[in-house]
Amino acid sequence: MWVVIILSLTGSIHSSPLLTSSLEEQTQVTKDTNETVYTCEQVCWYEDWFSRAHCYNRQLDQIPISTGCERATLLELQNNNIKSITFERISGYTHVRTLDMSRNKITVVFSNIFVNNHNLTNIILSGNKLDKLYNGVFNGTERNLLRIYLRDNKIEILEAGAFFGLGHTISLYLSNNSLTHLPSGIFNDLKDLKHLCLMQNNIVELRRHDFKGLHHLENLTLQGNKVGNLQQGLFHGLQSLKEVNLSKNHLIHIPSPRSLGLHHHMMTLDLSNNNFTNSSTLVPFLFNSTYVVYIHDNPFTCDCAYKKLQEKLLNLSAYVSQPLKCYSEGILYDIHDNLSLFCNEHNVVSTSSSSLLVSTIAYHEEEEVSVSQLSKVENTFQVKQHNVVVTTRENINIRNNYVVYQDQSNYLMWYIAIVLTFLLITVTSLLVYLCCIFRRQKGVTACKG
């Protein structure tokens, strides 16, 4: 009877914060050696109330043995020096729901490592040194895994079955890695995915079926990649899509919204900071969509197509919060300026030499268009950048102008010649006529015709 009471007492003492933190102090001194095998009880503070094991910022080089924290649902191991996750250690924490191992030195996570962590819901592995995700790495967590954080690693290779069976996952964060392409079908199983973050990678190409079947996808961040081409049908069937950010890529051309498969429920599409020069490619996005489209910071050519775009913007009684400027041969042109200069009817001089500084054009609900200017600093930077482009184009333009000038002078000569001939004929006939009248007055009747 007493023994039972004493045992249960010691049991509760074990998980008392006071005692564990004093244990922590003791072990802090002894854990300096490399080979020490320590338990959670020794090095962490287990907070019974929240089933939370505080093990962060402790310079741990391995996951502690679960003793003392077996019931933990929240295991915080961030900011340590852990290099690997071993099956024998992690499977001791069978109740864990949130595993935070961000900012460690993990280089590899092998397949089937989490098969005993069925209740794992959030896995945070950001800020490690992973370079590859193996097939079946999340095997065992399929029923509960909702969020996967893999930001700030060095992931270059995703094996095609890396996200095998993860039918409940809603968020997958892979930003700031080294991905260059997406293996076909990589996201096939992620039927419930809502947020897919692929920003700040080196992705050069997106293929038609890369996002196939992601019917719940709402937010797709792709900014800061090197995508030069979007294939038709890329967004086909993604009926929940709301935000797509393609800013800071290398896009030059883009299929129409319809052939891309974009839906009308979309809220924002960011195409800023790309390599678009031809403004007419973006017209279907600006004037036929119900969502906000950002097109600022593209090296648009100030040509007829652009002039038409401006006309349309002004026709819409667009709200222009700050003047939109156009830069040509050292001169900035306002959106309200007469830009006929850049669009000659003969189309010979239409290769105008200006690059346009389009600021933010946000188009919404076919009525409001807001154009906000870049900050002063950005503007100067832009001007500097475009100087290069402008000077090269100037050279081409000088040649064009020369040709045009020659042509025009030829026309002028012909014109003068015709006019002179005409004048000559008129004057002569007039003289002949006057001469006749003069002779008639003198009584000579020889002049009849």
Q: Can you give the binding site for ligand NAG, defined by CB under 6 A?
A: 34, 94-95, 111-112, 119, 135-136, 139, 152, 154, 164, 176, 197, 219, 221, 223, 228, 242-243, 245, 247-248, 250, 252, 256, 258, 268, 270, 275, 278, 280-281, 284, 288, 308, 311-312, 315, 338, 340
Which residues have C-beta within 8 Å of that of residue 188, sequence separation ≥ 6?
A: 212, 213
Q: How far is the CB of 315 from ligand NAG (least distance, A)?
A: 4
Helical segments of 177-260, H only: 257-260
For 334, half-sphere exposure in the C-beta direction (CA atoms, 13 angstrom radius) is 6
Residue 185 or 284 having the CB closest to ligand NAG? 284
Q: How far is the CB of 136 from ligand NAG (least distance, A)?
A: 2
Residue 119 or 436 having the CB closest to ligand NAG? 119
Q: How far is the CB of 66 from ligand NAG (least distance, A)?
A: 12
46 exposure class (CB count in 10 Å sphere: 0-12, 13-18, 19+): buried
Place of tokens 């024998």: 88
**Which tokens hold the place of 436?**
């006749």
**Which tokens hold the place of 223?**
């900014």
Opening angle at CA 242, ends 322 and 203, nearest 5: 90
Q: How far is the CB of 127 from ligand NAG (least distance, A)?
A: 7
Residue 172 or 197 having the CB closest to ligand NAG? 197
Residue 15 or 436 having the CB closest to ligand NAG? 15
Q: How far is the CB of 128 from ligand NAG (least distance, A)?
A: 8
How many angstroms separate the CA atoms of 308 and 327, rounded? 17
- Residues 198 and 225 sit within 8 Å (Cβ to Cβ): yes
Q: How far is the CB of 393 from ligand NAG (least distance, A)?
A: 13
**Which tokens hold the place of 183?**
């293996």
Which element (helix H / strand E) includes 293? strand 292-294
3-state secondary structure at position 401 = helix
Within 10 angstroms of residue 62's Cβ, the number of other Cβ atoms is 17
Residue 169 or 223 having the CB closest to ligand NAG? 223
Q: How far is the CB of 5 from ligand NAG (least distance, A)?
A: 28
Residue 55 or 161 having the CB closest to ligand NAG? 161
- Distances 216 to 168, 171, 186, 232, 270 between C-alpha atoms, Å: 11, 11, 16, 20, 20
| Cross-strand bridge partners of residue 362 | 370
How many angstroms separate the CA atoms of 317 and 6, rounded? 82
Q: How far is the CB of 220 from ligand NAG (least distance, A)?
A: 8
Q: How far is the CB of 428 from ligand NAG (least distance, A)?
A: 39
Residue 44 or 282 having the CB closest to ligand NAG? 282
How many angstroms separate the CA atoms of 411 and 401, rounded? 15
Residue 181 or 436 having the CB closest to ligand NAG? 181
How many angstroms separate the CA atoms of 108 and 2, rounded? 49
Shortest-Cβ-distance residue relative to ligand NAG: 136
Residue 365 or 414 having the CB closest to ligand NAG? 365
Q: How far is the CB of 312 from ligand NAG (least distance, A)?
A: 5
- Distances 143 to 76, 97, 140, 290 between C-alpha atoms, Å: 22, 12, 8, 38
Residue 45 or 276 having the CB closest to ligand NAG? 276
